[in-house]
Amino acid sequence: MIRACGQDEQVPRVVSADLQWDRDLIEAAITFSGYALEWIPHSSQCLFPDLVVKAFQNCVHMQGLEENVAPSLWTNMDVVAAWYEAGGLFHSRFPDSMKDNAECGLLLAKGLLDSFDDYESDNSMFREATSVALRSNKVFMSQAVEINCFVFEEAGVTLRRDVDLALVACGGADGHHLIYYRLLGDHLLESEEYDVYNDELEFLHTVFLNAKSKVKDHDGFTKGFLLGMSDHAGCGCNLSMLANGVETSLALKTKVADYLGVAKGRQLRRLRMAVANLAKLPAPFEPDDEHFCPYCDC
């Protein structure tokens, strides 16, 4: 029977009841085709959740496969992670309790980005799959937006106007498309939502100034303070102790930078990207300007 299962995904449907619990037989079936999951009893799936994970990994298309999975397994994070990693998306079989699960929300954010194939797509599924409380949690949303900047649109009402969160979103690899095709997209002008457009533009301008200020602070710290520290090396003053040995110097510079709130590393890279992405913000829309074009001077 194991050999037969390794050659036909429907064999498990006709095996005797006692063999439906046989791990080797189930593994042979889902190794041949992940879609054999349809014929694996839910009780056996719950007994071997790792084989359900393996089945997901052995499927090309995930649509409809959720109907064949034991309902209780949609709270198993190994199964959920494998589902999203294989290209599956949120569905109605997820229990409501998972809407408050941050790990599940982050997996979905990544899954949505991987399946994002055009700029007309939306992330309404992220809103549907996560609770208001979770989307209003700054720590969670910062992590989600860092993974997929487009879910910034689904942030809670207060966070939607949070400058720090917007910096993370606008400084992402897809930040330019988020800004000019989504937040300031043509759909706002076509639907004559001019106030919404201008309000969004004003907020993004604030984000731009904030990013420029933080980059300027960093440049001032490195070109002013750190260079000044080098000039005082060996002079015997208190400042010279910061340049005493590579390890000591680096540790102290990092502490000073942290104390002053100077951006560095990944945060600094995102700030610089945000400045670049926001540098070409259009002028506010004037309703009486019949020839208004938000992206050029035509």
Reported as a single tens digit per residue, the pLDDT across 252-296 is 667 777 766 777 778 889 999 999 999 989 888 776 655 455 555
pLDDT at site 224: 67
pLDDT at site 14: 44
CA dist 194 and 182 (Å) reads: 15
pLDDT at site 210: 94
For the record, the structure tokens of 230 come out as 């080098």
Single-letter amino acid code for the residue at 35: Y
For the record, the structure tokens of 158 come out as 């207060």
Q: Where are the domains of the chain?
A: 1-68, 162-298
Residues of the chain with pLDDT under 50: 1, 13-14, 16, 291
Which 3-state string (H, E, C) describes 152-202? HHHCCCCHHHCHHHHHHHHCCCCHHHHHHHHHCCHHHHHCCCHHHHHHHHH
